[in-house]
Structure 1
Amino acid sequence: MLDQPEFARERRVDSERLQIFIDRGWISPPIVEGRPAFRDVDVARAALIADLADEMGVNDEGVDLVLDLLDQLYSLRFAFGNLIDALEVQPRGVRRHLVNDARRLYTLTQRGSRALR
């Protein structure tokens, strides 16, 4: 973990901008001994924010949206991982029925989306 000065040096982010990242909720370092302790995930998010804002010209509202969508995506991946783990311990017959039902649902949703086009 990095403290705020180390983080600012490593990411080449001044303290004021770093505070904006925290205030907007873009990064959420845990507080250790009364000060933020930045993790690898915070460093990675700061790099992404810098790429979005500095390299691609995305404004703050756009950064909010991109980070929110990424957080939703990672949450879904986590939930699906848990679902797969739960399915793997089910009896074979149960798994087969679930797969068949999922295929039917997928086919129905594909037909529905084609009809809307």
Structure 2
Amino acid sequence: MNENEFRLHLRIETTVLEVWISQGWVVPEVTDQGRNFHDADIARGQLILDLSKSMGVNEPGVDVVMDLVDQLHSLRATLRDLTDAVCRQPPDVQDHILSELTRVESLRRR
């Protein structure tokens, strides 16, 4: 979706979008035709609006939340990669890893 469609969908002004982009809250794909936005950008934009309008979170607060969202997505991707790597191991290695994970979890609960 192009920039105009993105702004219309979220009902925001150009200046608001520029702030979001300068803060790194939304990172559009830049092409020869201009900036393009994806479904994830719409979801991020809706979250920003919910935080700032509905919940009254100020700009520094939105920045913290968006950074935490990015960290969460990064950690989930890393966990997915780790899970894939473990699944490619022989069964005995998988069993050993699962056993160690269970041991570590039990220590953490103490």
TM-score range, shorter chain: over 0.9
Q: Does 1:103 align with 2:106?
A: no
Aligned length: 110
Please show how residues 15-54 of structure 1 align to structure 2 within 5 Å: 15-33=14-32, 35-54=34-53
Residue 34 of structure 1 deviates from its aligned partner by: 5.9
C-alpha deviations, 1:50-95, integer Å up to 9, x for none?
A: 0000000011111111111111111111111111111112111111
C-alpha deviations, 1:11-35, integer Å up to 9, x for none?
A: 1000010110001100000111162
Partner of 1:114: none
Distance in structure 1 (CA, Å) of the matches to 2:17 and 2:74: 25
Residue 36 of structure 1 aligns to a residue in which SS? Answer: strand
Unaligned 5+ runs, structure 1: 112-117
Larger radius of gyration: 1
Q: 10-19 vs 35-44, which deviates more?
A: 35-44
Partner of 1:65: 64
Root-mean-square deviation over aligned CA pairs: 1.1
Unaligned 5+ runs, structure 2: none
In the TM superposition, structure 1's runs of 4+ consecutive aligned residues that sit over 6 Å from their partners are none
Percent identity over the alignment is: 39
Distance in structure 2 (CA, Å) of the matches to 1:46 and 1:71: 14
Residue 31 of structure 1 aligns to a residue in which SS? Answer: strand
Distance in structure 1 (CA, Å) of the matches to 2:100 and 2:40: 37
Q: Normalising to structure 2: TM-score of the pair?
A: 0.94
Distance in structure 2 (CA, Å) of the matches to 1:7 and 1:97: 49
